[in-house]
Chain A
Amino acid sequence: MSRLPKMKMLMKVLGALVLASTSLTAIADNHPGIGRAATPKEVAAWDIDVRPDFRGLPKGRGSVDQGQQIWDGKCASCHGTFGESNEVFTPIVGGTTKDDIKNGRVAALSGNSQPQRTTLMKVATVSTLWDYINRAMPWNAPKTLTADEVYAVTAYILNMGGIVADDFVMSDDNIAEVQKRMPNRLGMTEKHGLWQTKGKPDVKNAACMKDCLKEVQITSELPVFARSANGNPAEQNRMVGAVRGVNLNKATVVKVRQPAVDEGLKLAKQYACTACHGIKDKVVGPGFAQIAEKYKGDANAEASLIKKIKLGGSGAWGAIPMPPQGHVKDSEIKTMLDWIMRQ
């Protein structure tokens, strides 16, 4: 038997092995060359989240007093001195009681005694407060507080809600104790069908097709003030088609759109002509309407005025000289004159 067939076989086997090892590599690394390992410092810089079990919470401490100082400087303008403000955002503090701290449920949530829900009425987890302030506050300068400052501000908010004492110093060591005093700590439920795609719906309607109701009763209609509160539907619907928007302004006037911004006036503003010339009346120099009046019917007005503008001059309207405007292009002066003569 020749050795050749054996060699061929060996080559085939080797070839198969090479292929196999290539595909094995591909399984271990699906997309070679895509992405890179994150460095530990990169992960630390971005992995800022804090979970309810305090995983991710950095070491640190801050007192109620320190928190008050930061609050007054960086928070009170939006949230109010006592976190009670309802001007810019909904209130943070209010609506919780000593009993709530004891029970872990905010009683006002099941009644209607509070007109509005505050943050402290809602939040069950102190980690959420810490994380919120750390990642998103202050409103216009998020992520600028140090960890100690975040502890301090958190402590101050909780102090305003009567959850921690005036002399409290909050830290990673005692935050778990604070959690036990959160007024609404037992106030959340995950027992509902809206978490998972296959969750069970809580209402069941039937697809009745005929004689489904004896009587149709209108239970609520748009309040009169709300008809126009979002503007005029006529201006929020297409101008052609099967329908139009209802025109709430139909009573007396039809507004015709303002003429397009006049190029001449735009240039007059751009070159600061309007600093000295009023539209109608004299400021330092004559009003544009006065110029139009004076040169009306003058066939040489344009040529003469171009010259005056470019070279400047005095005497025609008083002693104060018009400075030369040699840098303005002729075409632009013509555009301005076209506009001036229409004043």
Chain B
Amino acid sequence: MLVQDERSISLESFSLMSMQIKKSGLLRRAPENFLDAHLRQAITEQGLNDERRGFLRKSFAAASAALVSGVAIAKPGTAPEGDGDPLILNVQDHAKTLGNPVVMQGYGQPSKFEANLQRRQSPGLTRVPQASVSFAPLQGFFGIITPSGLHFERHHQGWIDIDPQQHRFMINGLVREAKVYTMDDLMRLPSVSRMHFIECGANSATEWGNVAVPTVQYTHGMLSCCEFTGVPLSVLLDDCGIDRKKAKFVLAEGGDGSAMTRTIDIARAMDDVIVAYGMNGEMLRPENGYPLRLVVPGVQGVSWVKWLRRIEVGDQPWAAKDEAIHYIDLQPDGLHRQYTSVQECKSVITTPSGGQMLLEKGFHNITGLAWSGRGKVKRVDVSADGGRNWRTARLEGPVLGKCLTRFNIDWNWDGGPAILQSRAMDDTGYVQPKINQLREVRGTRSIYHNNAIQSWSINEDGEVSNVQVA
């Protein structure tokens, strides 16, 4: 059996090597680049045996020796040593063996090499895992759609997995007839499919007073965007004969332990709200409300009630627990703003972002996400000098209302310090504010609805970190 210290390879020489590489203006190479692919694969799959340990020692010795003699190792962009890259010159194992059969995995999984991208908790943020948050790894996403398994989580009393055949949905209150629908009923009705972002009202809450967390996963990861399928709430309210004169608000209620309730004004309820069962082409995931949730485009996630069991039509707001004790925004005068709902225009650069490291000087694609709860993103500007000068980024299509929009802009990093920022504008003309502008009005204790411009500082080593600037 392997003992612990044999499983961890001491790499003092490697560390020394990194420092020297850094000084010479080159970059740290991941240690696995010193090993050939076959050995790397064998170690990953089977761990170390004596033979593989021997190889490792030799590899590191060779790497260190190469360094001391001043030879750069596998520097990208330079000609390879000898005849060329052995990964090209030698036929790889995977190219000369039989691959796996179909349906080895009845439900496909990401490559094992993608395991670093997980939703994660932020230690110390919450004290009970059933009333907690897991953040989506925005730093690794492409485009605008969040993979269902990486959609951020926010539960108030744990998540549940309801048998859809046992699920019931009720509409009552100011309607001609209170009605009960089964999932069969709902899925028989004409459906719509819409792409929308969902952002927790407390996204970026840690940054109100000062910089507190290291990466975009934790600063902005309570954000996801999916295609949702379901029935417009207006269709169902009409089906029950909503009293259009008296109805002013609806209450959405969940079927879980917390029985989450939120008030939604009637104009919005009759506009683009969806009673949804589908997400990204399949049913909702249990963590996201399977089999039924409310989709309230442009509004903070808490109103997107999961495990939706009931809509009540009324003429006054309800001051429910999550709109009268939680999810209220403390202002400097001691008043709390109640029923804050809209997620105002916001953007963030996802690469390069905090905790990442640029590997090389030269060309880089700055990429990020922009969104607005009031409509479409109209423009995104990017600064590399902390907000002194700005250039307008390219918006990738489609640009949809109340949906994430991907932006990209070319950038040549000269190897010097830089501060990257993005600033979005929506089709109402509203411009994403600076953190100081928000603080002047709302102070630093309002927790929710922080849509400030995010700054990422890059040092000479290429290391990116979270900063705030003025």
Which A residues are within 8 Å of any B CB, using their own CB? 30-31, 34-38, 42-43, 46-49, 51-53, 55, 87-89, 105-107, 109-111, 117, 119, 122-125, 127-128, 131-132, 135-136, 139, 142-143, 184, 187-190, 192-199, 201-213, 216-223, 226-227, 229-231, 233, 235-247, 250-260, 279, 289, 342-343
Contact = CB atoms under 8 A, between A and B. Distances in A.
B191 to A, nearest CB: 12
Nearest to B258: A136
Given A196-B265, A250-B28, A89 B11 contact: no
A174 to B, nearest CB: 19
Contact of B320 (A37, A131, A242, A244): A131
Given A36-B179, A37-B177, A245-B355, A136 B335 contact: no
B320 A257 contact: no
A111 to B, nearest CB: 8
User: Which 7 A-B residue pairs are closest in the complex by CB-CB distance?
Assistant: A110-B334, A259-B47, A233-B355, A216-B386, A109-B334, A194-B340, A132-B321
Interface of A is mostly: loop
Most chain A CB within 10 A, of B240, B330, B338, B354, is at: B338
Given A226-B212, A250-B18, A231 B320 contact: no
Contacts of A36: 179-180
B5 to A, nearest CB: 9
A117 B357 contact: no
Contacts of A226: 211-214
Interface stretch (B64-72, B92-100, B114-122): B114-122
Contacts of B344: 194, 201
B442 to A, nearest CB: 7
Nearest to B336: A188
Nearest to B365: A242
A49 B365 contact: no
Residue picked from A35, A195, A210, A241, most chain B C-beta under 10 Å: A35
B389 A209 contact: yes
Contacts of B388: 211-213, 216
Given A47-B312, A188-B336, A201-B430, A194 B46 contact: no
Interface string B132-165: 0000010110000000000000001100000000
Contacts of B457: 218, 221
Scoring B185, B238, B379 by chain A CB atoms within 10 A of each residue's CB, the highest score goes to: B185
For this complex, into which size category does the number of interface residues on chain B fall? 35 or more
A188 B8 contact: no
Contacts of A87: 127
B280 to A, nearest CB: 21
B468 A258 contact: no
B385 A230 contact: no
A171 B134 CA distance: 41
Most buried by B among A124, A136, A197: A197
B88 interface: no
Contacts of B373: 197
B433 interface: yes
A195 B468 contact: no
A230 B390 contact: no
Given A49-B320, A135-B259, A212-B390, A243 B330 contact: no
B381 interface: yes
Interface in B419-470: 419, 423, 425, 430-434, 437-438, 440-442, 449, 457, 463-470
Given A188-B336, A203-B441, A256-B48, A219 B469 contact: yes
A43 B177 CA distance: 11
B342 A128 contact: no
Nearest to A134: B259
A195 B386 contact: no
Contacts, number: 357
B334 to A, nearest CB: 3
Contacts of A254: 8-9, 11, 14, 31
Contacts of B423: 205, 207
Nearest to A198: B374
Contact of A34 (B189, B314, B440): B189
Contacts of B463: 246
Contact of B389 (A211, A217, A245): A211
B10 interface: yes
Contacts of A135: 258-259, 261, 321
Given A35-B180, A196-B267, A236-B118, 20 more contacts: A38-B172, A46-B310, A49-B261, A188-B324, A190-B338, A194-B339, A194-B340, A201-B344, A209-B391, A216-B387, A221-B211, A230-B122, A230-B218, A236-B139, A237-B355, A238-B116, A242-B358, A243-B359, A244-B30, A257-B47
B314 A51 contact: yes
B437 A205 contact: yes
Nearest to A184: B336
6 contacts: A37-B178, A218-B469, A221-B465, A244-B357, A253-B8, A256-B47
B77 to A, nearest CB: 13
Nearest to B358: A243
Contact of B334 (A53, A107, A127): A107
B105 interface: no
Given A36-B179, A258-B47, A46 B467 contact: no
A136 B172 contact: no
A30 B215 contact: no
A58 B118 CA distance: 45
A220 B208 CA distance: 11
B314 A243 contact: no
A141 to B, nearest CB: 8
Contacts of B185: 34-35
Contacts of A216: 385-388, 419, 469-470
A42 B341 CA distance: 31
Contacts of A259: 2, 46-47
A49 B318 contact: yes
A125 B259 contact: no
B140 A207 contact: no
B83 interface: no
Contacts of A51: 314, 316, 318-319
A205 B180 contact: no
B340 A209 contact: no
Contact of B239 (A30, A47, A247, A255): A30
Contact of B9 (A110, A203, A219, A256): A256
Contacts of B128: 88-89
Contact of A189 (B116, B338, B359): B338
Contacts of A34: 181, 185, 188-189, 239
B82 interface: no
B204 to A, nearest CB: 14
